Amino acid sequence: MRLHEYQAKQVFADAGIPTPASQLAETVDEAVDAAEEIGYPVAIKAQVHVGGRGKAGGIKLVESKEEAREAAEDIIGMDLKGYHVSKVLVEEAVDFVNELYVGVTMDRGEGRPVAMVSTKGGVNIEEVAEEDPDAIAREHIDPAFGMHPFQARKVVYEAGVDREVANDVASVLTTLYQLWDDRDGADTEINPLMITSDDEVIAADAVMNIDGDALFRQPEIAEMGEEAAEGDELEQKADEYGFDYVRLDGNVGIIGNGAGLVMTTLDLVDYYGGEPANFLDVGGGAKADRIANALDMVFSDDNVDSVVFNIFGGITRGDEVANGINQALEQFDEIPKPVTVRLAGTNAEEGMEILNEDLVTVEHTLEDAVQRAVEYAKEVEA
């Protein structure tokens, strides 16, 4: 479960991490009033679950009442990468001299949480990891003992953070790990963690994703999650249908059964030059109506240009999946997005025979299915 920036900052601030003065606004007048109260310059930031908000016009820096009104009018109600913007965070602008990245996540390869620090903050950290992996310092943590102070200092110094602020950055990182642990986090990060000319550290952005299976012991966070989903039609549908669903920034829709299978499909989409649009796990034992609901969700995402189904039959039967796909697609006079299907496992052959190849493209291997879906998406882009 993902929190909005304003919600994550509230959690961070309550834990003692410095954040800029800010107010949430749902109307233009509320945004202007907040900017006047905070004092200019301020940033007006769309509150949606998507990266690259600034480049897409969802974050604007303003220095007057007139600019604040114009920015709020532009952002509130806009469609930002398929998300409707109903709220903005009006936030004190930070006069910074440097930007860092700090984060905590689970390293599944090592089976342990990992703390990360980089002096290349303020940019897409995934791109940094790919183009210059040595720019990110990492420290694995034994969850039985938590993060020791020396570990926080070690990873901060290894990242090359200036000595004047190193202890403060280490303190923020320690708190970030404690939040990750106490709140059943999947990811917690600050990008950027800004350094001011007075050597103060301020969390200018905040990301906090929570393990959805642990929400029963995080009632306060669960309430935030209900608020975060308001106004987001796809996330509301995911809750209604009972799907594990995460929206991403690409245009290849992905439906699979089992988190590992879906993750493998995401990786292959990336490998073959595409960009995943979502993570959607229909779970085991998916019947025809559940498959139809999954297609309804992916078709509802304006970012999706093609869809790939990757189903391995165990509890889930291939013939049930095929019937669900046929039933869903037969409702349309014209198929809204090209659909590619790969079935394997229980009753896969029967499913292949049931599939209406006038409505879908059938591939016998996952690699072929992913490549075909990526090709379809690129054809739409062209």
Is the domain of 237 the same as that of 377? yes
Q: Which residue has the higher pLDDT, 246 or 236?
A: 246
Question: β-pairing, 339-345 with 361-362?
Answer: parallel
H-run or E-run covering 307? strand 306-313
**Residue where one domain finishes, among candidates 92, 121, 148:** 92
> What residues pair up with 227 in beta bridges, in sequence order?
none
Following DSSP, what letter does each residue of 256-295 receive, concatenated? ESSHHHHHHHHHHHHHTT--B-EEEE--TT--HHHHHHHH
CA distances from 297 to 151, 209, 242, 307 (A): 43, 21, 12, 11
Is the domain of 268 the same as that of 325? yes
Q: How far apart are CA 341 and CA 356, in angstroms?
A: 11
Is residue 286 predicted with pLDDT exceeding 70? no
User: What average pLDDT does range 191-214 have in this prediction?
Assistant: 93
Q: How far apart are CA 80 and CA 46, in angstroms?
A: 9
Q: Is residue 16 part of a domain?
A: no
Is the domain of 353 the same as that of 278? yes
**Would you say 306 and 376 are in contact if contact means Cβ atoms under 8 Å apart?**
yes
What's the pLDDT at 293? 87
**Would you say 319 and 291 are in contact if contact means Cβ atoms under 8 Å apart?**
no
**Would you say 168 and 174 are in contact if contact means Cβ atoms under 8 Å apart?**
no
3-state helix, strand, coil in the chain (%, to 5): 40, 25, 35
Is the domain of 292 the same as that of 171? no
Helix H, strand E, coil C: the string for 329-370 is: HCCCCCCCCCEEEEEEECCHHHHHHHCCCCCCEECCCHHHHH
Q: How far apart are CA 63 and CA 344, in angstroms?
A: 58
Q: How far apart are CA 268 and CA 260, in angstroms?
A: 12
Is the domain of 62 the same as that of 151? no
Is the domain of 151 the same as that of 287? no
CATH code of residue 121: 3.30.470.20
What's the pLDDT at 302? 83
Is the domain of 177 the same as that of 123? yes
Q: 357-377: per-residue pLDDT in tens?
A: 999 999 999 999 999 999 999
User: What average pLDDT does range 39-50 have in this prediction?
Assistant: 93
CA distances from 109 to 18, 106, 114, 147, 179 (A): 32, 9, 11, 19, 22
Q: Quote the pTM value.
A: 0.73
The domain in which residue 106 lies consists of: 96-227
**Would you say 121 and 191 are in contact if contact means Cβ atoms under 8 Å apart?**
yes
Is the domain of 105 the same as that of 84? no
**Residue where one domain finishes, among candidates 33, 67, 92:** 92
Q: Is residue 150 part of a domain?
A: yes
Q: Is residue 285 part of a domain?
A: yes
Q: How far apart are CA 353 and CA 232, in angstroms?
A: 37
Is the domain of 242 the same as that of 363? yes
Q: How far apart are CA 293 and CA 291, in angstroms?
A: 5
Q: 45-82: per-residue pLDDT in tens?
A: 999 888 788 888 999 999 999 999 999 999 999 988 77
Q: How many distinct structural domains can be found in the chain?
A: 3
Residue type, 197: S
Tell me what the pLDDT averaged over the chain comes to. 90
CATH code of residue 37: 3.30.1490.20
What's the pLDDT at 84? 84
User: Which has the minimum average pLDDT: 12-21, 145-154, 336-345?
Assistant: 336-345
Is the domain of 112 the same as that of 82? no
Q: 288-344: per-residue pLDDT in tens?
A: 778 888 888 898 888 899 999 998 877 778 888 888 888 888 888 888 899 999 999
Tokens at residue 270, please?
């990336």
Catalytically active residues are: 101, 189
Q: 85-133: per-residue pLDDT in tens?
A: 999 999 999 999 999 999 999 998 899 999 999 999 988 888 898 889 9
| CA proximity to 198, closest of 95, 92, 93, 61 | 95
215-221 CB contacts, 8 Å cutoff, 24+ apart: 215/1, 215/184, 217/184, 218/183, 218/184, 221/1, 221/3, 221/11, 221/183
**Would you say 241 and 297 are in contact if contact means Cβ atoms under 8 Å apart?**
yes
Phi and psi at residue 13, in whole multiples of 5°?
-65, -40
**Residue where one domain finishes, among candidates 92, 107, 137:** 92
Q: 217-243: per-residue pLDDT in tens?
A: 999 888 887 665 555 677 778 878 888
Is the domain of 188 the same as that of 239? no
Tokens at residue 378, please?
């690129």
| Strand ranges across the sheet with 88-92 | 22-25, 88-92, 42-46, 59-62
H-run or E-run covering 313? strand 306-313
User: Which has the minimum average pLDDT: 27-41, 147-161, 214-228, 244-258?
Assistant: 214-228
